[in-house]
Structure 1
Amino acid sequence: MTAAETGPTTATGPGEYWGERMGTADRVVVGIFVGVPFVAVIASIVVLWGWGVTWHDLVIGAVMYLIAGHGITVGYHRLFTHGAFKANRPLKVVLAVAGSMAIEGDPITWAADHRRHHQFSDKPGDPHSPWRFGHSIPALAKGMLWAHVGWTFNNEKTNQQRYVPDLLADRDLVRVQQWQPLIALFSFGAPAVAGGLWGAGTWDAGAAWSAFFWAGLVRIGLLHHVTWSINSICHLTGDRPFKARDRSGNVWWLCLLSGGESWHNLHHADPTSARHGVLRGQIDTSARVIRIFERLGWVRDVRWPDERRIAAKTVKT
């Protein structure tokens, strides 16, 4: 792995690069961009329970969320982008397909953007920093919108020959890249089929449409929002116990939905670490999945953090 792939890990310490910490007004901005969409999703489920959403929809949606979500966190992020472990060929392909089911693009393009993010984290060149437009409240509001979703509409493309030549040379990943339309169709269609066939004995078109909406559209929308929150929220707020050259922070309330990705400060302090939640009580389901794969003999050369490495990156108080 090169510096372009992982980003420099030399740090100045929290706050030394960016200056002042967030104030109350800044936190209000965070609450608006993050809290309102989550509340809306929860409220819609409560209001429509028994009429527009059923427990079948929630079960199917949860299973699909876990598969696609960990395809992103374990496959796209920790394996393809940072090389935190090596996977055997069948698992590599499965993780690439699972990540593609999140409808966040193909693994090659995703990894290229993320490696560029690490090289220029929260500086000019970072494709999705919330600090892009400055530190004022209007600038942060604009930056949050940019980091969360606006950057995905940007015409500027990451140079893949520069950032991911190793992935471009992987014929399996190139094939998965070519399969994107079919994988997307499966990601939307599988919940509808499962919902339509579950428990009715015959095809239930109403149940199929309900599962398509909740376990397809809403599930993908929620996963997108969580993934984008790592780009926006976790670079604006959160605890920073580790040395990093940017404003990456740990946001505990996102850890379960993000599969442990929201322990973002450690990740930017040590990008190739297979586990991001390294402190007591920090749940990291993606690291648990990697551990299971390791015990099954499907992955090797896992870069687990050790006490000495963690201590070296901890901010001295």
Structure 2
Amino acid sequence: MLPIASSPLPSQKLTIANDYLQNIYRRVALVTVTIPCLGVVAAIELLWNLGIGAVEIGLLLGMYAVTTFGVEVGFHRHFSHHAFQTTTSIKVILAILGAMAAQGGVVYWVAHHRRHHQYADVPGDPHSPHLHENSLRGLWHAHLGWTLNGEVTNSMVFARDLLRDPVIAKVNQLQQVWVILGLAIPTIIGGLLTMTWMGAFEGLIWGGLVRIFLAHQVINSTNSICHLYGSRPFDSSDRSANNLWLAIPSWGQSWHNNHHAFPNSAVVGLDWWQIDLGGWVIRLLEKSGLAWNVKVPTASLIEAKRSI
């Protein structure tokens, strides 16, 4: 069960039909998509002329790791599904790191995701690939198109608990600050490590814009690829599928059929061979006393839900 009502009241709307607000969302989404793409073009030019060194690779991998961790472990498993509890300080860190991925603030992200689970692959799902007659159009919509259509999920229905949390609500209000910080950090580190302006610029490109572009593709792939291709070992009443190839870069989220079968589980790698970096980190937090009430389905429950 999600930490909200299982279905909205008849008087409540799934989305907010406000032309002004929808236009703002469209423009922000367009900027968020376009600028990282331009960064990739710049990176290709830099790679052709200057190559790439350890500093740039380190900034790309490091910033990618911490920001996608913030999305998967923070936005997704903690804030969306309450799969584990943690301290206020860790909550704030997770919310900030997730916001640095430039996929919206924690309230926006959680509202969309909870709505997705409530209406997975049926009308009402904001990004199902199965609601279009043309499969390519459905794939485009699920991967990126939904972010550009300006639809605003009603946060008062799907994320009221976060809006009522004064600390998280304040972090959410500063969403744009965290995006800028996520660009400033690799820029400053790149400049300091090389002591050149070009090093700062390359830090911005590789640790900032290219990192955002790659994170968008991997995280959005759980909406598109992981609802079209892969194995479905569990009955989940939707088209979610497990995908081995995205397991490491998605922190385990590509075990998507597992997740939809047990959405409140802090661990999604349910078989010994399923790499689940996010689940492993949560277990480490638990052992260190920084996480508790870590939810994991029992072995009997897992077997009972397996497809025959």
Equivalent residue for 2:290, pick from 280, 295, 298: 298
- Alignment check: 8 A CA contact 1:6 1:271 kept: no
CA deviation vs aligned residue, 1:82-133 (integer Å, no higher than 9, x gap): 0101111111111101111111100111000000000110000000001121
1:132 aligns with 2:131: yes
Hey, what does 1:307 align to over in structure 2? Answer: 299
Q: What is the identity, as a one-letter code, of the residue corresponding to 2:99? A: S
| 1:97-116 matched pairs, under 5 angstroms | 97-116=96-115
- State the alpha-carbon separation in 1 of the partners of residues 115 and 254 from structure 2: 19
1:156 aligns with 2:155: no
Change (3 A) 1:177 1:47: closer
Hey, what does 1:194 align to over in structure 2? Answer: 189
1:233 aligns with 2:211: no
- State the alpha-carbon separation in 2 of the partners of residues 291 and 5 from structure 1: 28
Hey, what does 1:32 align to over in structure 2? Answer: none
Equivalent residue for 1:170, pick from 156, 165, 174: 165
Query: What is the deviation of 1:306?
Result: 2.2
Q: What is the identity, as a one-letter code, of the residue corresponding to 2:262? A: D
Q: What is the identity, as a one-letter code, of the residue corresponding to 1:223? A: A
Per mean C-alpha deviation after superposition, the further-off stretch among 108-117 and 156-165 is 156-165
Per mean C-alpha deviation after superposition, the further-off stretch among 155-164 and 64-73 is 155-164
- State the alpha-carbon separation in 1 of the partners of residues 296 and 5 from structure 2: 18
Query: What is the deviation of 1:217?
Result: 0.5
CA deviation vs aligned residue, 1:262-304 (integer Å, no higher than 9, x gap): 0000100110011111113100000011011111111110002
Q: What is the identity, as a one-letter code, of the residue corresponding to 1:270? A: F
Q: What is the identity, as a one-letter code, of the residue corresponding to 1:193? A: I
Hey, what does 2:239 align to over in structure 1? Answer: 247
Change (3 A) 1:290 1:193: same
- Alignment check: 8 A CA contact 1:244 1:265 kept: yes
Change (3 A) 1:47 1:105: closer
- Alignment check: 8 A CA contact 1:195 1:211 kept: yes
- State the alpha-carbon separation in 1 of the partners of residues 141 and 107 from structure 2: 22
Query: What is the deviation of 1:53?
Result: 2.2
Q: What is the identity, as a one-letter code, of the residue corresponding to 1:307? A: A
Q: What is the identity, as a one-letter code, of the residue corresponding to 2:150? A: N
Cα RMSD after superposing both structures:
1.9
Hey, what does 1:278 align to over in structure 2? Answer: 270
Query: What is the deviation of 1:55?
Result: 1.6
Q: What is the identity, as a one-letter code, of the residue corresponding to 1:230? A: T
Hey, what does 2:23 align to over in structure 1? Answer: none
Q: Tell me, what secondary structure is at the counterpart of 1:231?
A: coil
Hey, what does 1:30 align to over in structure 2? Answer: none
Hey, what does 1:183 align to over in structure 2? Answer: 178
CA deviation vs aligned residue, 1:70-89 (integer Å, no higher than 9, x gap): 10000000000001011111
Q: Tell me, what secondary structure is at the counterpart of 1:149?
A: helix
- State the alpha-carbon separation in 2 of the partners of residues 208 and 160 from structure 1: 38
Which segments of structure 1 move beyond 2 Å, counting only runs of 4 or more?
1-7, 44-50
- Alignment check: 8 A CA contact 1:267 1:273 kept: yes
- State the alpha-carbon separation in 2 of the partners of residues 210 and 180 from structure 1: 24
Query: What is the deviation of 1:221?
Result: 0.3
Query: What is the deviation of 1:6?
Result: 7.7
- Alignment check: 8 A CA contact 2:3 2:82 kept: no
- State the alpha-carbon separation in 1 of the partners of residues 284 and 271 from structure 2: 20
Hey, what does 2:94 align to over in structure 1? Answer: 95
Q: How many residues align?
A: 274
Query: What is the deviation of 1:4?
Result: 5.5
Hey, what does 1:12 align to over in structure 2? Answer: none
What TM-score, normalized by structure 1, do the two folds share?
Answer: 0.82
- State the alpha-carbon separation in 1 of the partners of residues 5 and 96 from structure 2: 22
- Alignment check: 8 A CA contact 2:2 2:114 kept: no
Q: Which runs of 5+ in 1 are unaligned?
A: 8-40
Query: What is the deviation of 1:5?
Result: 6.8
Q: Tell me, what secondary structure is at the counterpart of 1:315?
A: coil
